[in-house]
Structures are given as structure tokens and as C-alpha cells.
Amino acid sequence: MPAAAVPVAPPPARRPPLTLRRGVTGALVTALVAALLALVPAPAAGAAPVLLSQGRPATASSQENGGTPAAAAVDGDPGTRWSSAFSDPQWLQVDLGGPAAVSRVVLRWEAAYAKAYRIELSADGTNWSTAHSTTTGAGGTETVPVTGTARYVRMHGVTRATGYGYSLWEFQVYGNGDGGPVLPGGGDLGPNVHVFDPATPGIQAKLDEVFRQQESAQFGSGRHAFLFKPGTYHNLNAQIGFYTQIAGLGLRPGDTTINGDVTVDAGWFNGNATQNFWRGAEGLTLNPVSGTNRWAVSQAASFRRMHVKGGLNLAPNGYGWASGGYIADSKVDGQVGNYSQQQWYTRDSAIGGWSNSVWNQVFSGVEGAPATGFPEPRYTTLATTPISREKPFLHLDGNEYKVFAPAKRTNARGTTWANGTPQGESIPLSRFYVVKPGTTAATINQALAQGLHLLFTPGVYHVDRTIEVNRANTIVLGLGLATIIPDNGVTAMRVADVDGVRLAGFLIDAGAVNSPTLLEIGPQGAAADHAANPTTVQDVYIRIGGAGPGKATTSMVVNSDDTIIDHTWVWRADHGDGVGWETNRADYGVRVNGDDVLATGLFVEHFNKYDVEWYGERGRTIFYQNEKAYDAPDQAAIQNGTTKGYAAYRVDDSVNTHEAWGLGSYCNYNVDPGIRQDHGFKTPVKPGVKFHSLLVVSLGGMGHYNHVINETGASTVPAGTSTVPSTVVSFP
């Protein structure tokens, strides 16, 4: 973008709870399972079979109710289950993701088991062979030796042992994949990760060297992460340029203190900070030299788990333009000087105060936030954030690297670390495949299939096939804005409809050949309930053009229910290389099909048609920033039937419940300033669909909006070229 409250209730339950309808106690089940496990014969010497099925996509012929989906039988949780309709036959199958040498299947039956069933194998999910068959199934835990190579494995129930359906706590397939040697987890972090401790010599010199390379390298290939071990560092000024991440390696910000500054300014762009993209700071305590730290950024620049013992200035030196950013899980003891920041979102933090409102400043769960004053001052404040789960991060436990996965919070307010160590799980780096530049997509997928998480070290990665994240609770974490570029028109990354996947800290850059999508969360038609353990997308940015030609029809598609999108910038480039109305064609930014999806900090800009389309029920957005495509050649190019222009944010007419707070859309039609946009926002008018604090702005009179939302809100034309917002406090 280079141009110039009330606590929220959780969504209503939409699926029936798991029915506890049988009388076997938990203690008896545990004892029975333990006894049966003791009878399982030890495997023969040689490579031990591994569990291949956990977290893999599972489907079934039927399910008893919404609380017993197929996925529950492969989630590794002994307290969840799949159960079928009360009829014969029924089946449950799992997709292992690729051919595997299968050696045994473990069936952990609930009280409703199969008297007669078959274990079947298939290479394609259509043609099946029988690997085991019985008519004397005993229930409980059955371990079935099988032999064969298959991608798909299923239990085909022929005859039920009870009047109920078939019910499995767990369906486990063991064997060995055919991906070659087992990939190791852990290892070093590569040449572009710079790790310091307080005794490291030349820290300031290294910071300055990288800043000289990255200060103006907006579309360069350099990627860097500065990681500071716990301790105290003196007299540092870490200037943070493009594709640079600075982070402490403690569990709490107080573990790593810099007596100095972490600075972003805009000297490289003549004091204009509206292009200070793609960088981040995490997990540090700062004692600024002057008492105030400067962080003058725009989109795709996160400030997480930071403690500033002083003030925070969000404007560049000289108070030039600045265009929006994001703070989460942080504390600023003094005042946050917003100054020229046009829009900003702050979540689950604590501040000493806030100055100035410009266009659209939004707060949720922030102690010390100003009260809602929209439209003047332009503050929108929610007392809590309905659901949040902080971004995973690398830390040191003694001398061992681990990744901390924070716990989910509901109705969150303030930081996770104010009262001690944050809640969550530390996962050893040995359970991560450390991805380094030159790694192929085939190797990345092999690591995922092997059950490893992914840690992308700073670099640029070309992938010739989709990265397939199929296992529940997988973490994909990038350091230093690691960048993934799909070649030959493939989708860069696809996530199965499973629980608890965490994507964080990387950039997807569209390739020269059009991709239908760049990031998919869940397959089309996904319907599993992930409310207890949602997938999160955090500091994941998407770019089409700018660094070179790029095309994608739809950038991000969210099909899985309950997904949390927590800070993203999805950007069709308006400057740089490979930019033009058709050169970097990208019709749609973000499309949400899943139910109960929450977006906290949504930045989506410049798409040829709709920037955001929402089809799922009970969606919520807290803060939205948008600019329409600058380069539309004329009115006809954006004509949408009888409507002038495509809305920046459209809720489909089929949706009955939706709510959003703090949304802004700006136009800067610099090719044809005469273009008119009928509205910034489009929505059905229904009691369950509500919008709060909306605005549209014509930047210097370069095009205009006729209304804010639907036919409501004044035109921007009366303001002429003065860049004055037209606002709507609430709709309808």
C-alpha cells in the first residue's frame, strides 16, 4: 500500500455433542486396552513399523452424528471416536498420502464393534483388495497383521455385533513408507540465522551489515533471522530491514533484554513508511535509549510478545505517511504514538495509552486501550478477543532448541505472559524437519509424511508440487520471512481437514504460471468440527507480482470450519516488477467457505475482482484493511453486472449470521480517476448479519465510492480531493 465495545460471545454450538450412551466405565476400558496391548507380539528385528495413519485424511460411509466424524478415529485421541449409522455394511478409510508397505492395523473398538469385517487395501481409493477377513471379531483392541503396499486402507464392516453402528476410538495403520531413507529431525539452522548471546563479539556490526543489505531490498532474495539467547544486551540499535526477523529465544519477553532499540524508519524512502513491509520483532524486552522505540511499518510487519519499557512511536522520523501494522501479546509501558498511521490493529496486549486515530484504529482484548469513539475519534475497541492462540515460536530450553506452541484462549484480554510462563507445549526441534534452501517439495512432503513438523530457515524455496499438510497438529513455521514460490501453476500449500494445524511466519509468492489457488485450508466440502483445536494462519503473507511476474486466480481459500486467520497481508502488487492489470492477474484474494472462521487482522489489497468473499456461517472479522486495484484501466474493466465495481468485502446472500468490526476500504484509481465504485462493502440485510465501524476513502480524489455498504453511507465525491473518509457506525 504505497498511497498516501462489548465482549464478543463465542459462536453458538452447531453440532450435537458426543453422546455417551453405553455403560462401560473409563477405568474398565483403560484396563482392557492395557491388557490387550500386553498381548501384542513384538515386531521382528529390523526397521520398526511406524504409525502412518494418525492425522491423515479419513472418510467414512456414514457417521452417527456431528460429534463422531471419520477424522476422530485417526486423531490420536483415545477419547474421540468415529461411529456409523445403524446399518450394514459400513466402512472407514484413511489416505496415507502415498504408497506404503503396510504391516499391521490396530482397531480400538468402542462397545459397538464388528463381528464380521475386512481390512482392505487400495492404491487409488477405487479398486480394493482384501488383506484380512474375519467373521469372529472380538471387539476391544484387535491387532491385525497384514501384508501389502497401499495408499488407502479401510475397515469394511460386514456384520455388526450390536444394534448400534460401528464405532472406533482409533483406527491405526502401521508400516513403512516408500520415500527412501528416514529423514532426520533437528540440526543446525543454516547460514541465514544469526544466533547471539551476550558475550558474542561484533553484534552491532552484524546487525548493521545485514541492514545495509536489506534496508531497501523490497523485492530482493535476502532473508535473515536474528535470534538472541536469554540474557541482557547493551547499547544496541537493531535496524530492521526487509525480510528480517528479530526475536528473543526465551519463553517470556523478560528472558531477553536489549538496553537499546529495535528500529524501523523510512530514510530509504524519503521518510515515507508506506512501503515498510515484510519484517517482524518477537519475544524481547526493550529499554529504548531515548525512552521511546520507533517502529514505523506498514503491512506484513508483526510486533509480537514484545515488552517496551517506555513509549512506542509508529511513525517515521518527520512524521511522514505510514500505513498500518499489527501488535499482539505485547506490553508497552508508555504511550503508543500512532501519529500518521492510517490504520492499525492491536490484540491481547497492554498499553499505557494511545495517541491519534487517523482512519481506522482497532483494539481487541487490550488493557489500556481507548474507548470506542468511531467515527471520531476513529477507535473501535472490543473488551476481549473471542478466540486467540498465539503464534508458535522457537526458544531455548537449556541448550536445546524447541518450538513453543501456545494454548488457545477464549475471551482473551492482556498478554499470555503477564502472570508467568505462558500456557502451551514445547516441542523439541528433533521433531521438526529443518528446511534449508534447495530442499525440494518431494523431500518436504516426505518429512511431513514421516510425521515431522517443518521449520523453514530463511530463504526462497521453489516447489514443483503442492506441500501437503495432512497430519493433525502439524506446525509449519518460517524464520526470516522464508518464501515459497510455486512453479508450473501448482498450489503452494494445502492443509487437510484436520485439527490444530499451525501455519506461521512465511511468505507465499505466486509463480509466473497461474495457480488456481496459493493456499488452501481444508478441502472443498470440509465439515469436521475443529472448535476445540482450530487451525491457525499467522503472519502468513501472500504476494502476486512485485518480485516478478505472478498470477493466481484465488490466493487463499479457507474451507475448514473454525479456522483462525491471525494477521495476514494478501497483496496483488501495485508496484515493482511484473505489475499490470493482466500481467499479475489475480481475481480473488481470500475466500472463506468454512463456518465459524475468525479473522483478527485481515489486510487484503488490489485484486482484480473481489478482495474478500465470505460464504461460511458465523464468520467474524476484527479489523480489515483494503485498497481496491489502482491499475483498473477504465470503468468497464471493473463492471460487475449492473454494479459499478467489486466490493472489497462481500458476504454472500446465502449467509445468515456474520459480524465484523473496524473495516476500511480505500480507492486510488490512478489510471482512470473517473472510475466509480458503488460501495466498499456488500452484504445481505438480515438480523444476524452485523457490521460496526466502516469507512471508505478516496485517496486524493482518484476514483470515488458512491456508498459505504450496500446503498448506505455518503459518497466520497463531496470531499473532492481532500481524502476525507465516509463512515457508517453500524449496519444495518
Give the integer Cα–Cα distance in Å for 485 and 507.
9
Residue 17 has which C-alpha cell?
455433542
**Radius of gyration of the CA atoms of the chain, in A:** 26
Residue 45 has which C-alpha cell?
528385528
- For 514, residues 6+ apart whose C-beta sits below 8 A from its C-beta are 489, 551, 552, 553, 585
Beta-ladder partners of 603: 569, 625
Q: Can 520 be counted among the known catalytic residues?
A: no
DSSP H helical ranges for 357-515: 441-449
708: nearest Cα among 654, 647, 658, 652: 647
- For 577, residues 6+ apart whose C-beta sits below 8 A from its C-beta are 219, 545, 546, 547, 548, 549
554: nearest Cα among 607, 615, 594, 508: 607
Please identify which of the residues 64, 142, 215, 627 carries the catalytic annotation: 627
Query: Which helix (H) or strand (E) segment is 31 a member of?
Result: helix 26-38
CA dihedral (341, 347, 348, 353) in degrees, to 10, reads 20
E strand segments, 87-242? 90-109, 114-122, 128-134, 141-160, 167-177, 193-196, 224-228, 231-239
Residue 437: burial class (beta carbons within 10 Å; 0-12, 13-18, 19+): middle
Beta-ladder partners of 543: 509, 571
Q: What letters, b where the CB count within 10 A reaches 16 and e where it falls short, cover 603-642?
A: bbbbbbbbbbbbbbbbbbbbbbbbbbbbbbeebebbeeee
479: nearest Cα among 186, 190, 184: 190
Query: Which SS3 state, helix, strand or coil, does residue 228 take?
Result: strand
DSSP 275-327: T--SEEEES-EE--TTSEEEB---SSEEEES-EESSEEE-S-TT---B--EEE
Q: Specify whether the CB–CB gap between 332 and 295 falls below 8 A.
A: no
- DSSP tally for the chain: helices H, then strands E: 3, 54
The length of the chain in residues reads 732
**Residue positions annotated with a catalytic role:** 627
